[in-house]
Amino acid sequence: MSATTTPLSTTVPDDSGSAQRMRAAVMHGRGDVRIEERPVPTPGSGEVLLRVTRAGICGTDAGEFTHGPSMFPVERAHPVTGHHGPMVIGHEFIGDAVAAGPGAEEFTGRRFASGAGVWCGQCPWCRAGRINLCERYWTAGLSADGGLAGFVTVPATTLVEIPDASHDDAMGLAQPLAVGLHAARRSGAGPGDVVVLVGAGAIGSFILCGLAGSGAERIIALDVDPHRLATAGELGATETHDVSDRDPVALVHELTDGVGASITIEATGRDGSAQRALDTTRRGGRVLFVGLPHAPQPLDLAPTILREVEMTTTLAHVCTQDLPEAVELLRDGRIADLLLGEVIGLDDLVTRGLQPLSAGTAPGKVLVDPWR
């Protein structure tokens, strides 16, 4: 598993008509992400060209790198975008709007975070406000070329302006924080609830940011890493517990006098995690599944049915609702101070980004500055 590099090109598009080039992280297959020179994309109607200043990587990128490609359309065409073949990855990015297509000219000269997800606005789900479930939904960096590059084009509808005084390092967390806020909202957590968060890694931490204002009576974070648990406490968990050598189900029942959690949020996707989440939850409670399993998991549903436990899931974020809130929460830099690990260059993407994230050893949230 290695990265192939080519010389840095930092050319900004101009009106000369000459072909402009940029560097980009391109997935060719399992364990095969190369840093290549690519043409700078041209924005189409309603699209904006961003000069990327920060881009993040997440568990989906690491999973596709290690176990895929299964979601990335490298081996088969994406049903909506039609992309097929090597693809520029990266769906968490911010940047400066340096050019725009027809209908988006007013966006140039400003700084934006992108939600990356694109919706049609016409289907039944879009009309109901659930744009993340659009029947033609696609995501830059997951379904077509994305933002781990010098430049990326995205529809202007995916953009939220970044306040002038905000640092790029903080705002680089906007898209994953939006995902966490949506998950927290989907959990339905509110006053009086005992919420158990299983997994206080990257997505778990962003979910905690959303839970902090829910009014839940107790927020119990479970993990196997002391540093992640310490951060969880800073983010609003009322209790943290290391379950590296303890049965999490038994622990939760002990902590709740045998009743169980009113809401369990499963954010790991590990083998057996779905059943443990159900067993952790009290009668009439709810389980929110966040972490994506890499393989099917067996479930014993009879006890779940007999306790009338609800099962729900969460996907991405509602850009128009969650991304503006994320940008606002990131303005003072506190969340970034707690969650940001390091900012690396494209050349270090594999060795200091994808590989550590796959192994669970990444030192906090890793961002990439494509111009380093």
The listed CATH number (3.40.50.970, 3.40.50.300, 3.10.310.40, 3.90.180.10) that belongs to domain 21-173+330-368? 3.90.180.10
Tell which phi-psi region holds residue 214, choosing left (phi > 0), alpha (psi between -120 and 50) or beta: alpha
Residue 9 in this model has a pLDDT that exceeds 70:
no
DSSP β-ladder status, 159-161 and 111-114: antiparallel
Query: What is the tens place of the pLDDT at every residue in 34-81?
Result: 999 999 999 999 999 999 999 999 989 999 999 889 999 999 999 999
- Per-residue pLDDT of 313-340, as tens digits, reads 999 999 999 999 999 999 999 999 999 9
Does the pLDDT of residue 281 top 90, yes or no? yes
CB neighbour class for 299 (10 Å; exposed up to 12, middle 13-18, buried from 19): exposed
Neighbours of 102 (CB within 10 A): 10
* 21-173+330-368 shares its CATH topology with 180-313: no
Query: Residue 8's pLDDT is what?
Result: 35
Token pair belonging to 189: 């957590």
If you average pLDDT over residues 272-297, what whole number do you get? 94
| Short-list 149, 133, 45, CA closest to 90 | 149
- In this predicted structure, the answer to whether residue 357 has a pLDDT above a threshold of 60 is yes
| pLDDT score, position 295 | 84
Distance between CA atoms of residues 87 and 260, nearest Å: 44
Report the alpha-carbon distance of residue 352 to residue 164 in Å, rounded. 30
- CB under 8 Å to 178, separation ≥6 — which residues? 115, 317, 319, 322, 323, 325, 326
Strands 47-56 vs 151-155: parallel, antiparallel or unpaired: antiparallel
Residue 6 has pLDDT above 80, yes or no: no
∠ CA 71-124-144 to the nearest 5 degrees?
Answer: 25
Q: How far apart are CA 140 and CA 143, in angstroms?
A: 6
- What are the start-end ranges of the H helices in the chain? 59-67, 124-127, 168-171, 174-187, 202-211, 226-235, 248-255, 273-280, 301-306, 319-329, 334-339, 349, 355-359
Opening angle at CA 252, ends 251 and 256, nearest 5: 120
Closest CA to 72 of 148, 167, 156, 184: 148
Fold of 180-313: Rossmann fold (3.40.50)
CA distance 54 to 340: 12
Neighbours of 140 (CB within 10 A): 25
For 244-273, what is each residue's pLDDT tens digit?
999 999 999 999 999 999 999 999 999 999
pLDDT confidence bin for 19, thresholds 50/70/90: low
Lowest-confidence segment of 10-24, 35-49, 208-222, 258-272 by average pLDDT = 10-24
d(CA 139, CA 137): 7
Contact 236, 212 (CB under 8 A): yes
Report the percent of the chain where pLDDT is more than 70.
95
* Domain residue ranges in the chain: 21-173+330-368, 180-313
Q: What pLDDT, on the 0 to 100 scale, is given for residue 18?
A: 43
Q: Which of 253, 235, 276, 250 is nearest to 194 (CA)?
A: 253
- The pLDDT-based confidence of 17 (bands split at 50, 70, 90) is very low
The 10 Å CB-count burial string (b at 16+, else e) for 163-198 is eeebebbbbbbbbbbbbbbbbbbbbebeeebbbbbb
Cα–Cα nearest to 236, from 167, 189, 182: 189
Please report which confidence band the pLDDT of residue 2 belongs to, taking 50, 70 and 90 as the band edges: very low
* DSSP conformational letter for 41: P
Looking at residue 1, what is its pLDDT? 39
Return mean pLDDT, the chain.
93
Output the pLDDT for position 5: 32
Q: Which of 14-23, 169-178, 270-279, 347-356 has the lowest mean pLDDT?
A: 14-23
Mean pLDDT of 21-30: 97
Q: What is the CA radius of gyration of the chain?
A: 21
Least confident of 9-13, 60-64, 217-221: 9-13
What does the pLDDT read at residue 13? 53
Mean pLDDT of 227-246: 96
